[in-house]
Amino acid sequence: MSQKTRDGYSWTPETGLKKGQFACKGAVSPSRSVKAPSSFVYDVLILGGGYAGISAARDLTNAGRSVLLIEGRDRIGGRTFTIEEDGFKYEMGGTWVSHCQPHTFREMLRYNLGRDLVTTRQHGYENDYYTFKVPGVSRKLSHEEAGQIAARGWNLFVDVDGAGGRKICPLPHAQLDNIRVDRKEVEKWDAYSCWDRYQEIRHQLTPEESGLLLSLLLHISGGESNLKNSSLWDIIRGHALGGHEFGNFEDVWLLYKLREGQSGMARHIFDDAVSCGLEYSFNTHVDEIKQLPTSTVQVTTRDRRTYVGRKLICTAPLNTLRSLKFDPPLSPLRQEAIEVGHINYMTKIHAIVQGSGLASWNGACYPNLLLYAYGDGVLPSGDAHLVAFGADERHHFVPERDPERIVQAFKNFHPMDVKKLVFHNWNTDPYSQAGPCFWPPGYMTKYQDELQSRHGNIFFASADWAHGWRAFIDGALEQGFLNARDVLNELRAEDQSRQATRALL
């Protein structure tokens, strides 16, 4: 039976709001397994139990290294976790997977999950259509027609080079210092906001195309409603990762889910590491990371425990790094990047609605607290499950305080009887302090190299500054792999040097 996590909320009209105590395969009990004495020096300390942290821990323990994983939550997964309730798996954060995501697909193959998938949208239920509400337009249309309208606006938006982004971003896992693209050209387009680019093309768009494009951009960026703080480059990069084809958007970004849930795959990785000797401490809050004169790194927790390692991999999300104390301080450029942070303060809400009719339905509603909603399966009760997303509304809307406003936001899409809401607020979560990463204009070319660099014997691994699928599970796995590789190579080199020195004595 799955343990329970304190994360997440549910609401029904009858019972009101409930916080936590949801079944989750990612919840870890007992929360602490530290066998080494307090004086022990680990090969590696890993801060954070999301996909970057647990995959790095797995790779390092599989290589025979002593590793301690420290995590503030009561579960693994970071900004992904799966609640199991009502005979259904609710994905509270990162959800979708694709064979186009190389690091994710490798993990799926490793744990025999490559074909064990379910799809979000299922055709054949009563309301198998798309509803579309933007200023001046409100109508019902087929999924295919909605896709065509969205594609025209999107393709105009990303076509900054006359080749649909293929010239400016031919290799999306190597956006900077690309062998085919002058960095100055990338810097030029990285300086653009989504609003800047929209102003260049808006005269070519119909009201429908304009409304659908704006709502789609906000849905992806999670930024402010005027799109002035949302990077154009992050959209170009995402388009390139999908093969430079809008027709791939749904299949790559929004269609396939793991039957076991994200917590199921995370559990495979974590259990693999534990079987090879991983030690861990959950519900453990880190205050300070200090580099010692002995070339080791010491972590001090709020309860004043200390742990020492030869290396440390920090996987804390970008917007949480300002709450950690580093001694010596981080570089001025990295501190500036942390202070600026990323801008995705999105909302993700699950709703259970009466009957199965909306299981095949999709809709867009702009402006609205929730911009897009997707039919996503039918519960054993026979009721439809919907999942919806909104942009940055945090200054006047906090979901756990206003569930009735969420219900109304769903009804603004389409008539429905909302029986239950399930969600997690990533913006008020102290271990995320935002949703999936989306950068402001100019951020990549100014800060990405610095964010990916090391700080003494501290390495930084997060989806928030991944080379390719930034903000995705794949980006976290990429960063976990790359940093574990670098740390392992360095440890081996140090060990060989010590052995050679001893042999000479």
CA separation, residue 295 to residues 37, 45, 224, 301, 362 (Å):
20, 14, 43, 20, 55
What is the predicted pLDDT for the residue at 327?
A: 98
CA 375 to chain centre: 21
CA 58 to chain centre: 20
Cβ 235 vs Cβ 165: under 8 Å: no
What is the per-residue pLDDT across 473-501, written as a single tens digit (0 to 9) for each?
Answer: 999 999 999 999 999 999 999 999 988 88
Helix (H, G, I), strand (E, B) or coil at 357: helix
Map tokens 């085919």 to a residue: 180
CA neighbor of 31 nearest in space, from 79, 72, 78: 72
What is the per-residue pLDDT across 115-133, written as a single tens digit (0 to 9) for each?
Answer: 999 999 889 999 999 999 9
- The answer on pLDDT for 70 being more than 90 is yes
CA 97 to chain centre: 12
What is the per-residue pLDDT across 218-249, written as a single tens digit (0 to 9) for each?
Answer: 999 999 999 999 999 999 999 999 999 999 99
Mean predicted lDDT score pLDDT of the chain: 96
Residue 92 tokens read as 């509270």
What is the per-residue pLDDT across 29-63, written as a single tens digit (0 to 9) for each?
Answer: 999 999 999 999 999 999 999 999 999 999 999 99
- The answer on pLDDT for 256 being more than 70 is yes
Residue 389 tokens read as 């997303």
Ordered alpha helix ranges (H), 159-277? 183-190, 194-201, 207-221, 232-241, 249, 262-275
- The answer on pLDDT for 304 being more than 70 is yes
- The predicted model scores a pTM of 0.97
- The answer on pLDDT for 277 being more than 70 is yes
State the pLDDT confidence band at 142, using cuts at 50, 70 and 90. Answer: very high
CA atoms within 13 A on the CB side of 317: 30
Give me the DSSP letters along 49-70.
-SHHHHHHHHHHHHTT--EEEE
Query: Angle at CA 101, nearest 5°, toward 96 and 105?
Result: 85
The percent of residues above 70 in pLDDT, for the chain, comes to 100
Residue 366 tokens read as 């702009």
What is the predicted pLDDT for the residue at 19?
A: 97
Q: Specify the DSSP class assigned to residue 360.
A: G
Q: Which residues contact 34 (CB under 8 A, 6 or more apart)?
A: 68, 279, 280, 281
As a whole number of angstroms, the longest Cα–Cα distance in the chain is 83
What is the predicted pLDDT for the residue at 1?
A: 59
Residue 493 tokens read as 């080199």
CB atoms under 10 Å from CB of 467, counted, come to 17
What is the per-residue pLDDT across 311-354, written as a single tens digit (0 to 9) for each?
Answer: 999 999 999 999 999 999 999 999 999 999 999 999 999 999 99
Task: Give every strand in the sheet of 9-12, ordered side by side.
Answer: 16-19, 9-12, 418-423, 347-353, 384-390, 372-378, 362-365, 130-134, 137-141
CA separation, residue 449 to residues 319, 324, 333 (Å):
17, 21, 10
What H or E segment, with its residue span, contains residue 479? Answer: helix 473-504
The percent of residues above 90 in pLDDT, for the chain, comes to 96
- The answer on pLDDT for 502 being more than 90 is no
Helix (H, G, I), strand (E, B) or coil at 441: coil
What domains can be seen in the chain, in order of their start residue?
34-81+261-343+434-504 (3.50.50.60), 143-254 (3.90.660.10)
What is the per-residue pLDDT across 382-434, written as a single tens digit (0 to 9) for each?
Answer: 999 999 999 999 999 999 999 999 999 999 999 999 999 999 999 999 999 99
State the pLDDT confidence band at 10, using cuts at 50, 70 and 90. Answer: very high
For residue 225, give the amino acid letter.
Answer: S
State the pLDDT confidence band at 504, using cuts at 50, 70 and 90. Answer: confident
Rounded Cα–Cα distance for residues 59 and 288 (Å): 25
Dihedral sign from CA coordinates of 47, 52, 53, 59:
negative
Beta-bridge mates of residue 437: none
What is the per-residue pLDDT across 198-211, written as a single tens digit (0 to 9) for each?
Answer: 999 999 999 999 99
Cβ 80 vs Cβ 266: under 8 Å: yes
Cβ 297 vs Cβ 290: under 8 Å: yes
Rounded Cα–Cα distance for residues 213 and 203 (Å): 13
